[in-house]
Structure 1
Amino acid sequence: MIAAAVLGTASTALAAGPAQATGESTLTADPLSTWQTDGIVWSLAYAKGIVYVGGRFDHIRPPGAAPGTGEVARENFAAFDAKTGQPLSCAPAFSGGTETIRAMKPSPDGSLLYIGGSFGKAGPVGRSNTAALNTADCTIDGDFKPTVSSTVRALDVTDDAVYLGGQFDTVQGQTRERVAALRPDGTLLPFKATIRGSSISNDPTPGVNALTVVPQLNKVIIGGRFTSVNGSVLTVHALAGLDATTGKVVNNFTGWIPQRSAVKALVNDGTNFYVGAEGTGGGVFDGRIAGRLSDGSQIWKDTCLGATQAVLPYKGVLYSGSHAHNCSDTPGGFTDIGNRQHFLAQSISDKTILPWFPDTNDGIGEQIGPRALTMADGILWAGGEFTTVNDAPQQGLTRFAAGPDTGAPQVPLMSGSSTSRGRVTLNWKASWDRDNGSLTYRIYRDGAYLTSLAKESRYWNRPDMSYTDTVEPGSQHRYSLEVTDGTNVSGRNGPVYVTARN
């Protein structure tokens, strides 16, 4: 047999930068079987083996069930076993107000789940936009029952304090503008800040959308729609660090968030903090920022467009929910290709967009897609407005794990020709995979393995590929192609019959 030879393939470089700068591994993009809601999920929380789901919905239904099929009543709140994903009987109804849960956070020991939103009743008892659930027996805590004048949109908890953010102006009958702190028994703490103004023309009401507490630094970082904190006009916009005892501004983050953007998500991992933002109009910031907790310095800031609603760090990767549609200036990113990517994974070390591309649709409501993320025993739970996941019907909830990886890449069409003596050239366009950047293409001649080629690809960048085989002049051969992501192998295509020129 005459040996085969590779004459050349398309460049492996992607236009927007490296595929995976520091080798972080991601979860798979294959969703686990997950129950659904019939409305919007605004918040997720995990404590003691249970995932809690809050939002605005009336029912949950089984995985794969169509709307109206197999429904179980759940009024804006549901609980699921974190490992199996099965619904639990813990189901107090949250009603009154606009009937929505916007924020949830467990106490550090997991014994209490603090819940905020717009409601007047939690289970059988009256509550004013916030409540606490005893996780051991699913009862509404009798001690924590503060009166909050309007919607609570953000929560974080330490051993001795519960921090609230939102659109309220009084708590327990005392002035607290958009942010407050209470003891676990509901006693109002001295922590106080004046949050004023908004640069978002279509939402003039100032508010705190997100906050994260850093107990070791006695700091609370707040984000939202505001133009001043404690009268600090022009130096603070949408993001600020506050002393956790007094409410005094300790970090201005001047220039981090432009005038027509607001912060929607904040979280910290004990070393860094992470910001998600959305904007309206031109010149906005819609992406993510990584900052250093110790000194409030910025580590990186991406430039993606498509409002970010949730961020979550896990094992060196920052997962996010957004509707990103242009990340052309971010390493590993994509240009405005006419579609929205609703989940992203980025290297925490250098912001590179990693090859992890599960997706949803925009869904219902404001048609944003994902709204909330939480990690539970190594499984990423996502909730929001979506009604499909990876193009299959799935409403409100989905889950992703580290494995197994079950999705094989599609095998591309291959053509073959011979334009010179004893040489056959095969051509095809690279495939792509939702959670693997580099794919291997196996070529078979006359049913026997011939060779393999590896290539980097993404759904927006599928390079042309080719392989040239050297055979006996005038001989006819059949060729086929299969693709593997290293775990899963596609079905073999072809065969393609080619006769080598004499």
Structure 2
Amino acid sequence: MNSLGARTPHRVLLAALAALVVALAVTVGPVTGRAAAATGTPTPTPTPTSSSSPAPTSSATAPAVSADPATVTADVLPTVQIDGVVWAQTTVGNTVYVTGRFTSARPAGAAAGTGETPRRNILAYDLVSGNLLTTFNASLNAEGLGITSSPDGSRIYVVGNFTQANGDNRYRIAALDARTGALVPGFNPQVDYRARAVVATGGTVYVGGQFSVANKTARSRLAAFSAATGALLPWAPAADNEVFGLVVPDSGSVVAAGRFTTLNGADHYGMGALDPVTGASRPWAATDVVRNGGADAAIYSLATDGTNVYGTGYQYKSSGEGNFEGSFAADGTTGRIRWVAGCTGDTYSVEPIGGVVYTVGHAHDCSPIGGWPQTEPWSYQRAVATTVEARGKNSKGTFAGKPSPGLLTWWPTLDVGTVTGQVQAAWSVTGNDRYVSLGGEFPKVNNVPQQGIVRMALRAHAPNLEGPRYQADFVPDLTSPAAGTVRVGWRTTWDPDNADLRYRIVRDGQTETPVGTVTARSTWWNRPTAEFLDTGLAPGSTHTYRIYADDADGNSTNSTLGTVTVGADPDPVPTTLAADSFSRTVSGGWGGASPGGSWSLAGGSSNFRVASGAGQMTSAWNRLTSATLGSVRGTGADVAVTTWADRPPANGGVVATAYGRRVDGDDDYRTSVRLKDGQAVSLTLTRKVAGKQTDLTSRTLPGLVASPGAKVRVRTQVTGTNPTVLKAKAWAAGTPEPADWQVSATDATPALQVPGSPALSAYLSSGAETTTVRTSWDDLVVTDGGQG
């Protein structure tokens, strides 16, 4: 069960950010939505597939559902709505109890002000139907902040800022009959200030918040009451600041979380475990890793599945009072961290259900665990699902090297609300083995009006209508690289609850007999390019192509239509534009490549030399050194080069970059490898325009580990315009080149659809533990990729 409420102090975001929440908006395009998938022969990998004749018909046209634990779908199910904000929820069977700050409820689909039923700050609804339960009718005279049930489900305990429940005095704590909402007779404890967290065991109700008195007796933000009588119990641990969350895992400990820094007078930064009878502190190792406390940071919510305790947090990075904004899982007995999701962006609620951990907040950078990178403008994901078990390690950031969960494919789009003024969407998540309920202040979900509450279901209980998204750049890239052959390329699209999509390549409108299929994995932030080779065509003939993207649920969208004339010429032969073996000695520069001309340097000539058969650059903290072959220009470049660093730092690392198209020394397409001592190399395709860098796609290469002097071969290819197709790969120098490109993307930024030059650069991160690094380069070969 979860308890959470309005955070104090409120984290006020710049109003301008509200306009930037655009990354996940649902786009409607032509011929999109649910449709019967046409026939085709599936291919097992996203690599290019070829066909010289129509594929045989088959009923199995959609890719198989992933073997990952099943999340609920992204479908918006009709759910009761509210006119304010939901702070907390709890589920008993098929009933969700909701508390927050609101005055009325209305049916799904009803506009604000129509079909309203009075409900003051608390209600219950049915998870199966989504309807308000009119038999449960309770009211609070101020907001509720935390809610839970008794172990047998007969009672609902709610805490908050209220002083009356159902018109009777109840000072910030109330017990309600779970069927009717009537006050439970004989239970009337009280605290003198805000209560925020509540959890109940068989005979005890534990409460946390910002209070200092309970039942007219001193208590420091934590108290326990008899479930039978409401009498204050001797349990009296002391926290030095507000308590936000309480859970009791199977170990029996009461785990508390909040913005306190001490518990029972000892260091417990943001959370700790307590004896359920004496209140004495028990060991809780999680605070050795995750530390949030003080005025500007907290462990914001807790949940448990009995075995593990899960938590979320927020912090102001500039405050220095915390190190954590994502989610974590810890052993319920010892507190030993099992994993940390090192995403940045405050996270407000967590719930483990059926092998999946659901969280809500405003994550904006989950690249440490293989998710989306920081974008410009910022892109927010308001609801996230991960695995219960650890599946990898954080690749960077505060928790680099520590176990991380796996990201799952569940990307609903929640609009931000205006009720709290905090530019947020969901504040709470709960559910059962079939449904998940999100609560908050959002006005829409997936562009469907649905205010404050929404439920989603597993596939067996959902309509499964959320399909592949239409994208304006889902366009066939058609070329004829050889006689009788057409290469069909495209940038993949994405789906909010299916990672693997099947692409049917349809020639000349024959939708029932596609010429082939390609299956590829994509997400909203990583949409790689895919391609298909259609052969056996008549030279000189003209054909149209359209690509259909299908998901496992039978939903489909399609690309625009493209036309191509089949060529009759032999395969183009790549022309060598530049080559440099650096078999010379130069001080204060690099001399010239042959062919290729003179190297133009930036970053101080004293930082360049050619020695020991390599071109060398010396880079200082946060400084870029670069070398460009300005006399080589074109729109097609295939650049291959070997690079290494004398002492790559473990923190931040050194970034070695090969440019396929550098325009006037400022705008460019580039491929970078980040070398961090003892860690896997990351490979990134990037666009830079007007001083702003945007990562198009990135991948960590687990089998390629950086170390002093370890040579890495990098190959990048930049071809075509409107759009430009970018590809890259990296491998250990001296070993066979990988057959497939490891990262790919397309881009049509106008400033970059012009000829450019190849270049090389090195950058030492400002976070590195060394002040300088020497990066070396060798065996450079630049061709035009056969483009002419």
Structure 1 and Structure 2 fold alike (TM over 0.5): yes
The answer as to 2:67 corresponding to 1:35 is no
Q: Is the 8 A contact 1:309 1:321 kept in 2?
A: yes
Q: Is the 8 A contact 1:443 1:480 kept in 2?
A: yes
Q: Aligned equivalents of 1:279 and 1:304: distance in 2?
A: 12
Q: Aligned equivalents of 2:93 and 2:161: distance in 1?
A: 26
1:384 counterpart (440, 449, 453): 440
Moved more, 339-348 or 464-473: 464-473
Secondary structure of the corresponding residue to residue 367 of structure 2: coil
Deviations 1:182-204 (A, max 9, x none): 111201111111111xxxxxxxx
Letter in 2 for 1:208: V
The answer as to 2:499 corresponding to 1:437 is yes
The answer as to 2:331 corresponding to 1:292 is yes
- Structure with larger Rg: 2
Secondary structure of the corresponding residue to residue 85 of structure 1: coil
Q: Aligned equivalents of 1:410 and 1:81: distance in 2?
A: 31
The answer as to 2:516 corresponding to 1:451 is yes
Secondary structure of the corresponding residue to residue 553 of structure 2: coil
What is the match of residue 368 of structure 1? 424
2:540 counterpart (454, 471, 474): 474
Q: Aligned equivalents of 2:309 and 2:481: distance in 1?
A: 59
1:218 counterpart (236, 245, 252): 252
What is the match of residue 453 of structure 2? 397
Q: Is the 8 A contact 2:382 2:425 kept in 1?
A: yes
Q: Is the 8 A contact 2:107 2:132 kept in 1?
A: no
2:179 counterpart (127, 133, 136): 136
User: What are the equivalent positions in structure 2 for 1:187-226 lying under 5 Å apart?
Assistant: 187-196=231-240, 206-214=241-249, 216-226=250-260
Letter in 1 for 2:439: G
Larger relative contact order, structure 1 or 2 (CA cutoff 8 Å, min sep 6): 1
Q: Is the 8 A contact 2:284 2:336 kept in 1?
A: no
1:244 counterpart (276, 279, 285): 276
2:552 counterpart (466, 472, 486): 486
Deviations 1:201-259 (A, max 9, x none): xxxxx210001013x43310000011111111xx3111111111111110244332145
Moved more, 107-116 or 490-499: 490-499
Moved more, 124-133 or 282-291: 282-291
1:327 counterpart (366, 373, 395): 366
Q: Aligned equivalents of 1:81 and 1:36: distance in 2?
A: 12
1:227 counterpart (256, 261, 269): 261
The answer as to 2:90 corresponding to 1:45 is yes
What is the match of residue 409 of structure 1? 468
Q: Is the 8 A contact 2:465 2:555 kept in 1?
A: no
1:346 counterpart (367, 383, 386): 386
2:117 counterpart (65, 69, 72): 72
Moved more, 256-265 or 86-95: 256-265
1:306 counterpart (345, 350, 354): 345
Q: Aligned equivalents of 2:526 and 2:92: distance in 1?
A: 41
Moved more, 250-259 or 152-161: 250-259
Secondary structure of the corresponding residue to residue 187 of structure 1: coil
Q: Is the 8 A contact 2:46 2:519 kept in 1?
A: no
What is the match of residue 93 of structure 1? 139
Q: Is the 8 A contact 1:482 1:489 kept in 2?
A: no
What is the match of residue 281 of structure 1? 317
Following superposition, the deviation at residue 83 of structure 1 comes to: 1.2
Following superposition, the deviation at residue 491 of structure 1 comes to: 4.0
Moved more, 369-378 or 304-313: 369-378
Q: Is the 8 A contact 2:387 2:408 kept in 1?
A: yes
So what's the TM-score if we normalise by structure 1? 0.90
Q: Is the 8 A contact 2:443 2:452 kept in 1?
A: yes
Moved more, 469-478 or 187-196: 469-478
For structure 1, the residue ranges without an aligned partner over 5 or more in a row are 12-19, 197-205
Q: Is the 8 A contact 2:145 2:159 kept in 1?
A: yes
Deviations 1:280-324 (A, max 9, x none): 124631011100113221111121111111000011111000100
Per the alignment, do residues 127 and 111 of structure 1 end up closer, same or farther by CA in structure 2, a change over 3 Å counting?
Answer: same
Following superposition, the deviation at residue 71 of structure 1 comes to: 2.0
Q: Is the 8 A contact 1:333 1:353 kept in 2?
A: no
Letter in 2 for 1:224: G
Per the alignment, do residues 110 and 494 of structure 1 end up closer, same or farther by CA in structure 2, a change over 3 Å counting?
Answer: same
What is the match of residue 412 of structure 2? 358
2:209 counterpart (142, 145, 166): 166
Q: Aligned equivalents of 1:398 and 1:380: distance in 2?
A: 8
Following superposition, the deviation at residue 21 of structure 1 comes to: 11
User: What are the equivalent positions in structure 2 for 1:241-280 lying under 5 Å apart?
Assistant: 241-253=273-285, 254-255=287-288, 256-258=290-292, 261-280=297-316
Letter in 2 for 1:287: G
Q: Aligned equivalents of 1:319 and 1:386: distance in 2?
A: 17
Q: Aligned equivalents of 1:376 and 1:300: distance in 2?
A: 23
Q: Aligned equivalents of 1:258 and 1:179: distance in 2?
A: 18
Q: Is the 8 A contact 2:475 2:562 kept in 1?
A: no
Per the alignment, do residues 424 and 496 of structure 1 end up closer, same or farther by CA in structure 2, a change over 3 Å counting?
Answer: same
What is the match of residue 116 of structure 1? 159
Secondary structure of the corresponding residue to residue 257 of structure 2: strand
What is the match of residue 702 of structure 2? none
**Structure 1 vs Structure 2 CA RMSD:** 2.1
Secondary structure of the corresponding residue to residue 139 of structure 1: coil
Q: Aligned equivalents of 1:491 and 1:371: distance in 2?
A: 32
Q: Is the 8 A contact 2:47 2:518 kept in 1?
A: no
Secondary structure of the corresponding residue to residue 515 of structure 2: strand
Q: Aligned equivalents of 1:336 and 1:248: distance in 2?
A: 46
Following superposition, the deviation at residue 368 of structure 1 comes to: 2.6
Following superposition, the deviation at residue 115 of structure 1 comes to: 0.9
What is the match of residue 687 of structure 2? none
Letter in 1 for 2:435: I
Following superposition, the deviation at residue 496 of structure 1 comes to: 2.8
Following superposition, the deviation at residue 104 of structure 1 comes to: 0.9
Secondary structure of the corresponding residue to residue 92 of structure 1: coil
Q: Is the 8 A contact 1:267 1:311 kept in 2?
A: yes
Q: Aligned equivalents of 1:195 and 1:37: distance in 2?
A: 34
Q: Aligned equivalents of 1:258 and 1:161: distance in 2?
A: 28
Moved more, 490-499 or 457-466: 490-499
What is the match of residue 487 of structure 2? 425
Q: Aligned equivalents of 1:218 and 1:482: distance in 2?
A: 54
Per the alignment, do residues 325 and 80 of structure 1 end up closer, same or farther by CA in structure 2, a change over 3 Å counting?
Answer: same
Q: Aligned equivalents of 2:372 and 2:567: distance in 1?
A: 43
Q: Aligned equivalents of 2:440 and 2:493: distance in 1?
A: 30
For structure 2, the residue ranges without an aligned partner over 5 or more in a row are 1-40, 49-64, 391-404, 569-788
Percent identity, please.
33
What is the match of residue 57 of structure 1? 102
Q: Is the 8 A contact 1:407 1:488 kept in 2?
A: no
Following superposition, the deviation at residue 77 of structure 1 comes to: 1.2
Secondary structure of the corresponding residue to residue 313 of structure 1: strand
Q: Is the 8 A contact 1:195 1:226 kept in 2?
A: yes
Deviations 1:163-199 (A, max 9, x none): 1011111111111111111111201111111111xxx
Moved more, 175-184 or 246-255: 246-255
Moved more, 300-309 or 134-143: 134-143
Q: Is the 8 A contact 1:22 1:347 kept in 2?
A: no
Secondary structure of the corresponding residue to residue 301 of structure 1: strand
Secondary structure of the corresponding residue to residue 417 of structure 2: coil
